Amino acid sequence: MFAHINQTNIFFDVDGQHVEVKDGKIIKKPVILVVHGGPGGTHLNFKPHLDSLTACAQLIYIDQRGCGFSDESDTDLYTLEQNVEDIEALRKHLGLEKIWVLGHSYGGMVAMSYALKYQNYLNGLLLMATSPSHRFLEKAKKYVEEHGNKAQKYYAEKLWEGSFQSEEEVEEYYKVMQPLYSIKSSNNDQKKPYVKRAYRVLNKGFSTFLRTFDLTEDLKNIDVPTLIVAGKHDWITPVSESEEIHQQIPHSTLHILENSSHSVIVDENKNCISLIKNFITTYTYDLA
């Protein structure tokens, strides 16, 4: 499905019921808007890993502008600020009063930025393996320099420079770097579907605004329930980044998953889903 918002077509997909009848009672479930990482990723990276959340919530997946099935647009608009405005426009388009926002990696940066501007429309935040500032970059660079093999160092440089030339080149990056991103999938030979890697969006992020963005000092102004999940072995947004977020956001809860890297939702799926369900249930009231 597409929403024509902010002069472009943004793809979104809906999974699960917002209203259901159970034991003769009408139950209105909370809505979670799911924001992918990258920049340049796709909502398909979450599927089918979040499917079981539909037992307690309705999920709305979004492909950020230029990503996945959404239209490509002016590269000047591939920014953190524009991603925030697109989320708000989609919320209005769908007629949603309040939402949860789940953001993984760069999606978490978008989620926190959305909270800082549009907190009145939030029930809460679900932040998965993310960072509050550009400082994650130096930590990631140091990790690759100390632990990466030759191919990983080569492709990591392309990421830091924002110099990918094609979707195929980004796909090769993820193949080479996969053992760092995920403990589980690095030992899994199961075939994965090809998904679009929006290299222009990725390049724009790493060559410009990701080098300077810093939400740290403003996070104290976020006043909604916030769940933070980090992977102990995360190389690109290490645990220290999530600890910083937890320290700054007053009403936040931090969980560090011992057997996870950056892909926490894949590496410890059952644990991650359980944490999200329990957190949402704690702050959800029957609205029917």
The whole-number pLDDT of residue 225 equals 97
For 30, 71, 87, 200, the CA distances from 76, given in Å and listed in that order, are: 34, 14, 18, 11
Q: How far apart are CA 288 and CA 26, in angstroms?
A: 6
Domain boundaries, the chain: 2-134+214-282
Indicate if the pLDDT at residue 120 is higher than 90.
yes
- The better pLDDT of the pair 149, 251 is held by 149
Catalytically active residues are: 105, 234, 262
- Which residues in the chain belong to E strands, given as ranges? 2-5, 8-15, 19-22, 25-28, 31-35, 58-62, 99-104, 122-128, 226-231, 252-257
What is the overall mean pLDDT for the chain?
Answer: 94
The whole-number pLDDT of residue 191 equals 58
Indicate if the pLDDT at residue 144 is higher than 50.
yes
DSSP 8-state class, residue 258: T
CATH architecture assigned to 2-134+214-282: 3-Layer(aba) Sandwich (3.40)
pLDDT in tens, 22-46: 888 898 999 999 999 999 999 999 9
pLDDT in tens, 67-115: 999 999 899 999 999 999 999 999 999 999 999 999 999 999 999 999 9
Indicate if the pLDDT at residue 215 is higher than 90.
yes
pLDDT-derived band at 192, boundaries 50, 70, 90: low
For 56, 149, 224, the CA distances from 252, given in Å and listed in that order, are: 21, 37, 8
- The better pLDDT of the pair 32, 193 is held by 32
Type and span of the H or E element at 220: none
- Cβ atoms of 50 and 269 within 8 Å: the answer is no
